[in-house]
């Protein structure tokens, strides 16, 4: 039986979510913007889901815009605010993002750097938390937007969002939060945090793939301009026919998430037991990032001397782990997140990401540790399972095996 611990990449769709969506695939297959009675049924389902999602994050329903996922929501926030600022705040041309943001945030900001904006990276500490002192020094009256994710999708580090929001407000800068990894796992309230925009993804919280949302505060001094054009759906911000079944599923996942926040202590226990069991089995595993300020159930570890990519392949379908974000699979340089927190290249190559979910129990943590330990021992006795690395030292390339 497979134990999948790749929940940062995606979560299994909850059965309650599947059941909630079923009716809207065939029995109520109507366009939510159609004027007939069938359209009204679909529209009602969409608005019920919108209200539920808003309640989950402390927003008002009219502040929630449906998208195809967090990637689109992040692009809409960053590119849309930049479009709005070109006429409303032309003097604000600087975009600040943390060095460990999701690729979609970094790439959107890099695109703006070709459009007359400046993209600058906020450094992070070895724990993965944003260097708040450095951020404070970087802020001035030319900063349009600061983007910092609520929790990292590789190392699980939780950011000090209210503190960052306070700095942004003082500087007159907008504050965007990629909240895809936290919603449904820990409480997240847009009002308490003080962000202007935030993105969410259904499939990170036991909902369906293909749907997400963008929160835009009614109090924000700027509202993003659309980056897609069509029929004016979603208050003119995001056009296109709404995927009613997916939105219904998103709403059901949000409803379940309200009941799941109490799972935090249990998920932490699972991660701790996994580490403890690895130690008992003689595996020298070390946690990357923060030991305390991380998502419950989330771990990023390195095992010196092991090639993580090859080990994951040896695990096959018995245990699902990953070496980093699914969006950067195959990158030759390894995880930019781990490099940003100062991990040497040879340890980046020896690192794994894993995350327990609500469906896991203590026996899964123990079995997963034993499965990983067995594969590590197999690698230790085989050739080609060690980290191959090269570094430039004093102008010479050194190649080694650790």
Residues marked as catalytic: 327
CA distance 55 to 23: 24
Task: Answer whether 334's CB lies under 8 Å from 364's CB.
Answer: no
CB neighbours (10 Å) of residue 80? 23
- Tokens describing residue 195: 């962000």
- In degrees rounded to 5, what are phi and psi of residue 233? -65, 165
Q: Which residues pair with 322 in a beta bridge?
A: 353
Task: Answer whether 238's CB lies under 8 Å from 75's CB.
Answer: no
* DSSP strands (E only) in 1-87: 3-4, 64-67
Q: Which residues pair with 352 in a beta bridge?
A: 301
Question: HSE (CB half, 13 Å, CA atoms) of 401?
Answer: 5
Query: Minimal CA–CA distance to 135: which of 111, 107, 171, 176?
Result: 171
CA distance 233 to 17: 25
Task: Answer whether 157's CB lies under 8 Å from 132's CB.
Answer: no
């Amino acid at each position: 039986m497979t134990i999948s611990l790749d929940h940062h990449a995606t979560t299994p769709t909850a059965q309650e979510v599947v059941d909630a969506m079923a009716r809207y695939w065939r029995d109520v297959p109507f366009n939510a913007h159609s004027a007939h009675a069938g359209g009204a049924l679909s529209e009602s389902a969409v608005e019920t889901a919108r209200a539920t999602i808003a309640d989950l994050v402390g927003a008002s329903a009219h502040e929630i815009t449906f998208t195809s996922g967090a990637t689109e929501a992040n692009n809409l926030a960053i590119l849309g605010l930049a479009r709005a600022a070109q006429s409303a705040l032309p003097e604000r041309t600087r975009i600040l993002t943390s060095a460990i943001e999701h690729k979609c945030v970094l790439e959107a900001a890099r695109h703006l750097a070709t459009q007359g904006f400046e993209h600058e990276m906020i450094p992070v500490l070895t724990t993965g938390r944003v260097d708040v002192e450095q951020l404070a020094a970087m802020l001035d009256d030319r900063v349009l937007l600061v983007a910092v994710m609520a929790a990292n999708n590789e190392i699980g580090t939780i950011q000090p969002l209210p503190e960052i929001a306070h700095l942004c407000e003082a500087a007159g800068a907008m504050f965007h939060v990629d909240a895809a990894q936290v919603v449904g796992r820990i409480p997240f309230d847009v009002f308490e945090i003080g962000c202007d925009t935030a993105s969410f993804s259904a499939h990170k919280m036991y909902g369906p793939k293909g749907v997400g949302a963008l929160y835009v505060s009614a109090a924000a001094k700027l509202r993003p301009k659309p980056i897609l054009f069509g029929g004016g759906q979603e208050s003119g911000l995001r056009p296109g026919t709404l995927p009613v079944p997916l939105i219904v599923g998103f709403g059901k996942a949000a409803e379940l998430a309200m009941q799941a926040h109490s799972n935090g202590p249990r998920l932490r226990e699972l991660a701790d037991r996994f580490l403890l069991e690895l130690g008992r089995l003689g595996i020298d595993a070390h946690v990357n990032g923060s030991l305390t300020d991380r998502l419950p159930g989330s771990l990023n570890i390195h095992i010196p001397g092991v090639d993580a990519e090859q080990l994951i392949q040896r695990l096959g379908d018995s245990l699902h782990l990953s070496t980093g974000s699914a969006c950067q699979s195959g990158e030759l340089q390894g995880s930019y997140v781990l490099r940003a927190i100062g991990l040497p290249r040879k340890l980046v190559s020896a690192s794994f990401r894993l995350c327990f979910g609500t469906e896991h129990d203590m026996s899964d943590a123990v079995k997963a540790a034993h499965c990983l330990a067995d594969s590590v021992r197999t690698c230790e006795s085989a050739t080609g399972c060690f980290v191959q690395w090269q570094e430039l030292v004093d102008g010479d390339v050194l190649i080694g095996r650790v």
